[in-house]
Amino acid sequence: MHLTLKVWRQAGPTAPGRFESYDVPDASPDMSFLELLDVVNEELLAEGKEPIAFDHDCREGICGSCSMMINGQAHGPERGTATCQLHLRKLEHRGVREVTVEPWRAAAFPIIKDLVVDRTAFDRIIEAGGYITAPTGSAPDANLIPVPKAAAEASMDAAACIGCGACVAACPNGAAQLFTSAKLSHLNLLPQGQAERWSRTVAMVETMETFFGSCTNHQECEAACPKEISIDFIALMNRDYVKAQLKQRRLAGQTFP
């Protein structure tokens, strides 16, 4: 298939950016989108030009690093699919012949180079969450801590978040509620996560608010998420945050980080 790519090129964080066009006359529909960028980069290197910088690691939808806007949609048009899992046949079926590729556009994710952005703000939220005090060591008996099946499954769904940042990039407010709620919920739903539930919730939500915008229920995050994380987790996070405040745990002698 014949594709024309318009790719955002930016030499560094403060350099001016611009779109550059690349023609790929014989792309295989079975290529992934990252393999398409590999093909373009091989041509650029052969011509002695700077290749397009983009993040990637696992190339199987696990690491969350292959973050880019494809024709204005985070990770492209296929629902529940990370860029590395987006095959060109999915674009061919939609009659796409021109593709615009941009980095995430969000104030909290400054551009480092071309399609690579700095997602350190996500790390600050995780860091604020601290650790859980559930003992580690040898594997406990499977039934020692009974976990209701519904809670285990919901926790597992939340733990599917790969930290890609598509939810932030898709949100008109640049909000990180979906990411933060997923990271909170996979612990807050489990018995092992109860000891620090309230302090963790306050610390992560308040750290999130220092970097990201506010949620106004556009729901674009859920639509863009390659792991189809539900916005129900945002409701759970909001409820836990209010509860943590109402409990006045500071006065009860529990210190917050």
Candidates 225, 231, 237, 244; binder of ligand SF4 (CB under 6 A) is 225
Which residues 33-92 are close enough to bind ligand SF4 by CB under 6 A?
64
Give the per-residue contact string, 145-184, with ligand SF4 (x = CB under 6 A; - = no): ----------------xxxxxxx----------xx--x--
Other beta carbons within 10 Å of 49: 11
Mention every residue, 6+ apart, whose C-beta is less than 8 A from residue 156: 186
81 binds ligand FES (CB under 6 A): no
82 binds ligand FES (CB under 6 A): yes
Q: Judge whether 176 and 128 are in contact, CB under 8 Å.
A: no
Mention every residue, 6+ apart, whose C-beta is less than 8 A from residue 74: 67, 104, 166, 167, 169, 170, 224
Which residues 200-219 are close enough to bind ligand SF4 by CB under 6 A?
none
Q: Judge whether 52 and 40 are in contact, CB under 8 Å.
A: yes
Q: Judge whether 73 and 56 are in contact, CB under 8 Å.
A: no
Give the per-residue contact string, 13-32, with ligand SF4 (x = CB under 6 A; - = no): --------------------
84 binds, among ligand FES, ligand SF4, none (CB under 5 to 8 A by kind): ligand FES
112 binds, among ligand FES, ligand SF4, none (CB under 5 to 8 A by kind): none
Which element (helix H / strand E) includes 183? helix 177-188
Candidates 42, 50, 57, 98; binder of ligand FES (CB under 6 A) is 57
199 binds ligand FES (CB under 6 A): no
Which element (helix H / strand E) includes 113? strand 111-113
58 binds, among ligand SF4, ligand FES, none (CB under 5 to 8 A by kind): ligand FES
Residue with tokens 């066009």: 21
* CA–CA separation, 165 and 147 (whole Å): 30
189 binds ligand SF4 (CB under 6 A): no
- Kindly state the smallest distance separating residue 132's Cβ from ligand FES, in Å: 26
3-state secondary structure of 92: helix
Candidates 3, 229, 231, 236; binder of ligand SF4 (CB under 6 A) is 229
61 binds ligand FES (CB under 6 A): yes
Give the per-residue contact string, 159-188, with ligand FES (x = CB under 6 A; - = no): ---x--------------------------
Other beta carbons within 10 Å of 110: 15
Candidates 24, 27, 52, 84; binder of ligand FES (CB under 6 A) is 84
The number of angstroms, rounded, from the C-alpha of 191 to the middle of its chain's C-alpha atoms is 26
Q: Which two tokens stand for residue 202?
A: 């306050």
Three-state SS sequence of 145-175: CCCCHHHHHHHHHHHCCCCCCHHHHHCCCCE
Q: Name the residues that contact ligand FES, by CB under 6 A.
A: 56-59, 61-66, 82-84, 162
Q: Name the residues that contact ligand SF4, by CB under 6 A.
A: 64, 161-167, 178-179, 182, 224-227, 229
